A and B are shown apart, each in its own frame.
Chain A
Amino acid sequence: MIIFFRRAVQDILRNKILNVITVITIALSIIIIGSFAIFIINTNDILDSWKQCARIMVYLRPDISKNEIPGIKQKIIGIYGVKSARFIAKDEALSLLRNKMKRQAAILDNLRKNPLPDAFEIEMTPSCTDKRKIESIVTMIESLPFVDDLEYGQKWIGQFADIMRLFRLAGFAVGGLFFIASVFIVANTMRLVLYSRREEVEIMRLVGATERFIKIPFFIEGIIQGILGGITGVVVLYIAFVFISSNLSQGILTGFLSLRFFHFKVLCSIILCSMFVGWLGCFLSFINFKKI
């Protein structure tokens, strides 16, 4: 086995160009599939975080008096799917608004009466953040007598989620296609390698080498190439990821989200996978290779 390993390493060092091509091929496929996967993971994350901040604002009728508020709060919290309800008095709302408007706040000083209504900010339990459940909560709240108006961002988040689901499906399909394509490209590169070495294989056969003896180093080579390609791909992905995410977080998305790279387990399985691709490429290239 040590002999086989030594031969494999020697062969890699002596056929540098073809080996580099194979490694790059594997690395490229990993980069393409990997960037798809990272994109999907992170858009999923963003969607989740948006779902979490999905809130319903309930504006109360102006004729509701202060001492009715605790009763109303009880009613709202009693609805299935509501996690919490925070009362925002109209004065509090006005001062919030004033803070937000900063310099233009002077406009508000001219108001004789606070035009804002009292409101409740409702947060939902995480299990109730999909489109249909939220809509059922909304209709229930709307039917309550003290509600004047109601506002929620879930409509477009729901649509966005639908698009994302489609996107993810497309991502899997494209990823799968790229996987098959990269196996074939690797197989073809290997066949090229083998073709350039068919004389060597023929000579080994003529001096009485068994198929096992001839093929094992090739397979070891394939696996080593797979590992090298996998590591190269992952490293390039990581560098690109760090670069892009630091640029993004300096921009519009500050503090809003932290981008995620692959989990360690996923990284390991990517490298395992590329090992398998190396092996499979070797296996495929030995099919329809002359037998004797």
Chain B
Amino acid sequence: MINGRSEMSIIRMFHVYRYYGKKKALIDINLDVYKNEVLFLSGPSGAGKTTLLKLLYLGESVSEGQVIVDGINLSRISFKRIPALRRKFGIIFQDYKLIRTKTVFENVALVLEAAGRKSRLLEKKVNSVLRIVGMEDKRDLFPPSLSGGEQQRVAVARAVVGDPKIILADEPTGSLDSESAGIVFDLLKRFHTRGATVIIATHDKHLITQAGARVVYLNNGYLQTHTNI
């Protein structure tokens, strides 16, 4: 798997398998993701997209194979360094995963607090990110009182607030109307131009053709790396 672009890869996967009991969710995955690219991970639901993303931030671990993220071999990482690994990522979860007992502001600020940022800069930073996603005036509301699209935008804000190296977006436009989906995608592109690597798992063909970025295709746990579908 050694090729000329390896030093430009921020993520490398070698012969990765993931089983759930007898079910093979991922089979012999080999993938390089390059620094500062936008990569679409497409495929029908149940293909293994979410599972592949989880392997990157150790939400799950591989059954076989190797994953390297930003020079770190995940099979050798110590328990103590997992939080630091996760802070390299900004993750937009398929189900948002907002804390329902904390306000919009607190949900976003949590990332910075966990990273040990100073609280005076923190408030400014969180407010500016909330302004970008258009949720500034709802900063003191709790997630259950927000619409799906609004929760999605809070999730985006939380994913980008810590200036992560890699942004993972799992069906970021999944439950949104096309207008909101456009807004979310524009936001992701905006953070991409600031230097982040962006991986978007989606089955939204419209979004993919519109974007004109590299696409890999997952089907039944197998990965196909052709550029157009």
A, B in one complex = yes
Main secondary structure of the interface of A (DSSP, over half): helix
The reply to whether A209 and B59 contact each other, CB–CB distance below 8 Å, is no
CB-based nearest A residue for B59: A206
Kindly state whether residue B119 has any CB partner on chain A within 8 Å.
yes
Out of A3, A208, A213, which one reaches B86, CB within 8 Å?
A208
Chain B hits for A213, CB < 8 A? 113-114
CB–CB B115/A208 < 8 A:
yes
**B102 / chain A contacts, CB cutoff of 8 Å:** 200
Contacting residue for B101 out of A200, A202, A208, A292, CB 8 A: A200
- Inter-subunit contact B83/A210 (CB<8 Å): yes
Given A207-B91, A292-B82, does the pair A3, B97 have CB atoms closer than 8 Å?
no
| Complex CA–CA separation, A205 to B58 (angstroms) | 11
Most chain B beta-carbon neighbours within 10 Å: one of A14, A208, A211: A208
Q: A15-B101, A200-B99, A203-B97 are in contact. Are A210 and B86 (CB under 8 A)?
A: no
| Contact (Cβ within 8 A) A207 B59 | no
Write out, one digit per residue, whether chain B residues 81-113 have a CB within 8 A of any chain A CB (1) or not (0): 011111101010100011111100000001101
Closest to A3 in B: B113
Residues of B contacting A211 in the complex (Cβ-Cβ under 8 angstroms):
83
| In the complex, B158 has a CB within 8 A of chain A | yes
- Which chain B positions have C-beta within 8 A of A202? 97
| Cα of A210 to Cα of B81 in the assembled complex, Å | 9
B86 touches A207 (CB 8 A): yes
Cα distance A3–B110 in the bound complex, in angstroms: 11
Name the residue of chain A whose CB is nearest to the CB of B96.
A203
- The answer to whether A206 and B101 touch (CB under 8 A), given A3-B119, A292-B58, is no
The interface centre, meaning the residue of B59, B87, B101 with most chain A CB atoms within 10 A of its CB, is B101
Interface string of B52-85 (1 = CB under 8 A from A): 0000011100000000000000000001001111
Verify if A199 is at the interface (C-beta below 8 Å from B).
yes
A204 contacts the other chain (CB 8 A): yes
- Which interface class (under 10, 10 to 19, 20 to 34, 35 or more) fits A? 20 to 34
Residues of A within 8 A of B101 (CB): 11, 14-15, 197, 200
Within the complex, the shortest CB–CB distance from B168 to chain A, in Å, comes to: 11
**A205 touches which of B83, B93, B100, B111 (Cβ 8 Å):** B83
> Nearest Cβ distance between residue A206 and chain B, in whole angstroms?
7
Nearest-CB residue, chain B, relative to A211: B83
Q: A199 CA to B172 CA in the complex, in Å?
A: 21
Contacts of B110 in A (CB 8 A): 204, 207, 209
Would you give the 0/1 interface string for A29-62, flagging 1 where the beta carbon is closer than 8 Å to chain B?
0000000000000000000000000000000000
Which B residues are within 8 Å of any A CB, using their own CB? 57-59, 79, 82-87, 89, 91, 93, 97-102, 110-111, 113-115, 119, 158, 162
The 10 residue pairs across chains A and B that have the minimum distance between CB atoms: A208-B87, A208-B86, A209-B114, A210-B83, A208-B83, A200-B99, A203-B97, A207-B111, A213-B114, A14-B101
What are 22 A-B residue pairs whose CB atoms fall within 8 Å in the complex?
A3-B119, A199-B99, A199-B100, A200-B99, A202-B97, A203-B97, A203-B98, A203-B99, A204-B99, A206-B59, A206-B86, A207-B87, A208-B83, A208-B86, A208-B87, A208-B111, A208-B162, A209-B114, A210-B83, A213-B114, A291-B79, A292-B82
* 15 other A-B residue contacts (CB within 8 Å) besides A203-B98, A207-B158, A292-B82: A15-B101, A204-B99, A204-B110, A204-B114, A205-B83, A207-B111, A207-B114, A208-B83, A208-B85, A208-B86, A208-B162, A210-B114, A211-B83, A213-B113, A213-B114
